Structure 1
Amino acid sequence: MRIVAISAAVIFVLDQVSKYWIVHAMALDVRGVIDVFPPYLTFRMAWNYGINFGLFAGQQDLTRWVLVAVALGIVLFVLVWLRRDPPGVPGLIAGGVLIGGALGNVVDRLLYGAVADFLNMSCCGIDNPYAFNVADIAIFAGAAGLALFPGGGKPPGRQRKNRA
């Protein structure tokens, strides 16, 4: 479980530092948009009061606390799952990455009442109107990693025959 904790801590710190730097130090919350490498990478401020793509953003205060509870429930579920049926190292890292991302978005909801999204990427003539953050990437990558590297794949140990 040490691998899970380290993975979660690294992602959590990367997420929170990137959000602080982009939103506050670069004043994206005031500027709104910063073209970094258009159209491939743009920093575009978006406060997400709901879930993905702003779904369920209607009743902001209620939604905020429900989503905090859901995220903490998912973190607890993943921790119990990893403890009961530990996957290999890649699966443990994936679990930690998912947990770190989820906790990063929980902190945003507690501090700001919404998740700070700022990464916007477009390519190949497709204009992407949505923004995301490091935590969102981590949640997606962690979930994919857990699907690719699940636990329970250990072969049963060999039983010794009694030689009398």
Structure 2
Amino acid sequence: MKRHFPYFLTALAAIVLDQISKWAILARFHDFERLNIIPQFFDLTLVYNYGAAFSFLANHNGWQKYFFIVLAFVISGWLVNEIRKGSMGKLGNFAAAMIIGGAFGNVIDRFIHGKVVDFILVYYQDWYYPAFNVADSFICVGAALLIIDGIKQAKKAKQAA
């Protein structure tokens, strides 16, 4: 357990940072309000996502909320097991912890609000990246690091063979 503590702490930090940022936005913004931070590039706003990435399945009657909660638990359980087994490198373990923390940050929203709070808006002229949040950032960075770790682990295995 002691050797897994840094990963548990990383997941917890992701959840706490995500929830604090969402509480701050919810306390300051009205729905769809925008505050320009960097002209023509970055705004803070308050929008909601009933689906997943890029509002996937957002326009359904609510079953998707439970689907994404179950999916977060299943994937997080699998990642916890991978950390426990030691099948990934240190980078992979931190990446998995980031994904777990991000997933549970969004699960908390689904339980409390019935939807995910998004507030980071990046754009350039007429191009807009869909609004996202701190949890989404942890998930994306964690996924990228998990891929990098997988490549590193495959190279190690190939060299050992």
* TM-score greater than 0.5 by the shorter chain: yes
Is residue 34–residue 42 contact of structure 1 (8 Å, CA) maintained in 2? yes
- Unmatched tracts of structure 2, length 5 or more: none
Q: Which SS does the other structure have where 1:120 is aligned?
A: strand
Is residue 108–residue 114 contact of structure 1 (8 Å, CA) maintained in 2? yes
Matched, 1:3 2:6: yes
Q: Residue 142 of structure 1 aligns with which residue?
A: 142
**Which whole-Å CA distance do the structure 2 matches of 1:75 and 1:21 have between them?**
26
TM-score between the two structures when normalised by the length of structure 2: 0.86
Q: Residue 121 of structure 2 aligns with which residue?
A: 120
Q: Residue 92 of structure 1 aligns with which residue?
A: 93
Q: Which SS does the other structure have where 1:29 is aligned?
A: coil
Matched, 1:47 2:48: yes
| More helix per residue | 2
Q: Residue 20 of structure 1 aligns with which residue?
A: 23
Matched, 1:76 2:77: yes
TM-score between the two structures when normalised by the length of structure 1: 0.84
Closer, same or farther: CA 111–98 of 1 in aligned 2, 3 Å: same
Q: Which SS does the other structure have where 2:137 is aligned?
A: helix
Q: Which SS does the other structure have where 1:149 is aligned?
A: helix
Larger radius of gyration: 1
- Unmatched tracts of structure 1, length 5 or more: 157-164
**Which whole-Å CA distance do the structure 2 matches of 1:97 and 1:13 have between them?**
12
Write the letter of the residue equivalent to 2:106.
Answer: N
Q: Which SS does the other structure have where 1:121 is aligned?
A: strand
Aligned-residue Cα RMSD (Å) equals: 2.0
Closer, same or farther: CA 30–58 of 1 in aligned 2, 3 Å: closer
Could you tell me how far 1:129 is from its partner in structure 2?
5.4
Deviates further, 84-93 or 139-148: 84-93
**Which whole-Å CA distance do the structure 2 matches of 1:80 and 1:92 have between them?**
10
Could you tell me how far 1:48 is from its partner in structure 2?
0.3
Could you tell me how far 1:29 is from its partner in structure 2?
3.1
Cα displacement string for residues 67-116 of structure 1 (whole angstroms, at most 9, x for unaligned residues): 10011111001111222233232222111111100000000000000000
**Which whole-Å CA distance do the structure 2 matches of 1:55 and 1:139 have between them?**
16
Q: Residue 133 of structure 1 aligns with which residue?
A: 133
Closer, same or farther: CA 81–135 of 1 in aligned 2, 3 Å: same
Could you tell me how far 1:12 is from its partner in structure 2?
0.8
**Which whole-Å CA distance do the structure 2 matches of 1:97 and 1:8 have between them?**
5
